[in-house]
A and B are shown apart, each in its own frame.
Chain A
Amino acid sequence: MTRANNEKGRYRMNATNRHLGALLAALAVVVAAGPARAAISAQCPADTDGMDTDGDGNAGNDNVCRHLIASDGYADMADGRLLYVFGFSEILSGEPLDMAVMNHTLSANAPAPTMAFREGQRVYLTLSNAGFMVRPDLFDPHSVHWHGFPNAAPIFDGMPDSTVTIKMDASQPYFYSVVDPGTYLYHCHVEATEHIQMGMVGQLYVQPKQNMLPAGTVLGSFTHRRGQKYGYNDGDGSSRYDVEVALQLDSFDPDFHDASESVQPLPFALMEDRYFLINGRGYPDTVRRGPMPNSFDGQLSQKIDAQVRARRGQRVLLRLSNLSVTEHFTVTLQGIPMHVVGEDARLLRGPTGLDLSYDTTSVTLGGGETADVILDTTGVVPGTYFLYTTNLNFLSNDAEDNGGMMTEVVILG
């Protein structure tokens, strides 16, 4: 038996003890916490301005309200290892707010719920803080940083040094008048290195008003048809797509997560990620369709799969982003070239209108960078294609081979 396997066996024993402790702690607090403890609230004004700012023909629906709550929880890596995480989950409309802290204990999603908005919407985003069940010694506030929001004001930027962040059992409103379409991302900015490594990351994108054009609108040599969608207000149909898939690259250092769970000093200087993820999962979990329950308490903590499915001839928009705190990643799609139409939530077009979009075989993203990639599947033979990192040593789930940052693109006939 090898050293690596012995270590793994030892880990499992430790992990079991730790997780058991967490469960007991959770039970204890659930018993202790009554409704009086929860000061969870949300602000969601009605849209009464009489203007149709999102262009969908309805003047009364431009205000959008979402409610995130920060907590801790667990997520499974593709080799079966359970990792302690911090994260966001969503309080859905109609949920009783006085029960929200209790209901969202240990409910962190990895990654966080995806925020998809439309240009012209006014977003009222509430962030509540449920605290960390497994780390009752911590009283971390949290924030939402809409990474890349243009002309951000500090009060809604989530950067803790320049604004206020929300303490436990309380709620803070964020407001965004959504102007610029494109692929962004969001994360907690409190103790950024730690909280992002621990999993407080999510996808965020904005669809353009061009989607709302009346059928038959002529855009240069292109005619908009009903239901057609675009990555940007391109004016020429060049960012048109049929299928939209958001893929967020990330990576975890299991030693860091274990240290956090077991109240040990956090290894910042020695941080070294060993799980390489797309939408919070390593291959082959990336292609396990639908929400995935964790092995701790069965919560659907990893809700977003990473499989891409399209019919031959369709155009696929890949919204790629990276929130790793340690690595740039290069990803390729074997057999199907990529056409990059946007980067960092901006159409690739120069200030005088020159077309800066480009064809490539791979895209490289550092943490906090995004790209919008169109896949043209015209003439592609139906079958399964593989999107993976060309940093090939990351095609592993820690000590397990044949995993990591890879997913499948299924082209149907």
Chain B
Amino acid sequence: MTKHTTSMGGAMLLALALASFPAPARGAIPGVEGPSFSLTARAGFVSTPEGGSIYSWGYADGAGLMQYPGPSLLVDEGDVVTVTLSNELPVNVSIVFPGQQGVTALGGVPGALTSEVEPGGTPVTYQFTAARPGTYQYFTGTDTQLGVEMGLVGALIVRSATAGWAYGHADGAYDREFLVLETEMDPIIHELVETGRIAEVDFTAYRPVYWFLNGRSAPDTMVPAGAQWFPHQPYSCMPMSHPGDRLLVRLINAGRGLHPFHTHGQHMRIIAQDGRLLESAPGAGADLSFLRFTTTVAPGGTEDAIYSWTGDNLGWDVYGHRPGDPLEPGEYALDHGKPFPVIMPDPKDLEPGPYYAGSPFLGVAGYRPPVAGTSPNAHAGYVFMWHSHKEYEMVNNDTPPGGMMTMLIVEHPDVPVMEM
């Protein structure tokens, strides 16, 4: 057994404190607006929750700090996208854009997959038309094995011409969108690279022990985006929702391994793979979409999922209403006023989690046995873990829990949803 609730709770508190600042409008994925980008490959250090610091490579936004993952490139359908890449690393780098066609590369030196920038060499400008909306990734096309491991990956999001639709069809309509970008790291490789011993890197002994969502390991996934003590990891991964909201989850496997990603609380409807709506014919909508409670995205691939927790059909009233109370917006009427079905044990027999608000009901705080600190779940939301179900990936090196994990908070309809 490993005691973790205290440290986890601490991080949550931190998250809460920061999140109480005014937040931008709902559901935008932070990134860099296009259609023209200037990226620089450079080195930096990735922080891990147990205090580690891992030498890494990444793409920086212009003269900014190296980022892990690289800046999320945000463009609109039909944009002519240009990405100019400079290189401050000791090896050649490049960028490839799976899912994009007609990508041209100007400058640099020829490489196996595309033109490359030599260390300190003249930049390469990649250009393509973002012809189709969707979720994509980019990564280095130069020694991809080492480059991806070192951190040269990022998300490319092509927004649909119709605001609020992921694709050109109402089946991709969403209320809030979130990025979930999976990666992993083997720190031994990073140490060898840091100390100039690239030739000694042996991928047959590859053994990742850190696992990331949007470049952070849990519980850091739940610290707000842009927190200043993560200078190289600006993106959080903390989905928030009201009951019935349609969350667009843009899943990207930017790493090299297979991660079975499980969403507590509800299935995901997988509506697109690799930036293509799952449709039987153009305009048919996502008629080939399917439901998953755990999904494994192919490395190098992407999936778009719609997740919507409604609380329907549980056989009891999740709000704890009495029969005469008014309905909440979108409440499942057939369960309205139905009593909680069991008698909970004496609190002394129960171990409360840091997010437990003291009652079974959504938005209702109750008696919460004293534990270290107060609950970060201040509004008694419903909290659901989203995580890799390859559970040894829910560990930060030798320390559980952590890794490829975050929490969704579904807030009561009366509670404003904060952007984290």
Contact = CB atoms under 8 A, between A and B. Distances in A.
Interface of A: 39, 43, 45, 122, 124, 138-141, 147-148, 150-155, 157, 159-167, 170-175, 177, 179, 191-194, 196-197, 265-269, 271, 324-328, 343-346, 348, 350-352, 354, 356, 364, 366-369
Contact of A175 (B284, B316, B395): B316
Interface stretch (B87-95, B109-117, B285-293): B285-293
Secondary structure dominating the interface of B: loop
A184 to B, nearest CB: 8
B266 A269 contact: no
A350 B289 contact: yes
17 contacts: A39-B349, A45-B341, A141-B350, A141-B351, A148-B267, A152-B265, A154-B382, A155-B360, A174-B342, A177-B313, A192-B394, A269-B397, A325-B390, A350-B286, A351-B286, A369-B260, A369-B389
B345 A354 contact: no
Interface residues of B, number: 72
Contacts of B311: 151, 153
A162 B341 CA distance: 19
Contact of A147 (B292, B293, B355): B293
A188 B172 CA distance: 35
Given A122-B315, A344-B291, 20 more contacts: A43-B342, A43-B343, A139-B1, A148-B293, A151-B309, A151-B313, A153-B318, A166-B349, A172-B349, A177-B316, A192-B401, A194-B2, A268-B398, A269-B395, A343-B292, A350-B286, A350-B287, A351-B287, A354-B280, A366-B296
Contacts of A167: 349-351
B395 A193 contact: yes
Contact of B349 (A153, A170, A269, A328): A170
Interface in B17-68: none
A269 B296 contact: no
Nearest to B318: A153
Given A191-B400, A194-B400, A177 B318 contact: no
Contacts of A43: 342-343
A194 B2 CA distance: 9
Interface of B: 1-2, 4-5, 8, 171, 209, 258-260, 262, 264-267, 269, 280, 284-294, 296, 309-316, 318, 341-347, 349-356, 360, 362, 377, 382-385, 389-392, 394-395, 397-401, 407
A208 B385 CA distance: 28
A268 B267 contact: no
Nearest to A369: B294
Nearest to A350: B287
B158 to A, nearest CB: 24
A350 B270 CA distance: 11
A157 B343 contact: no
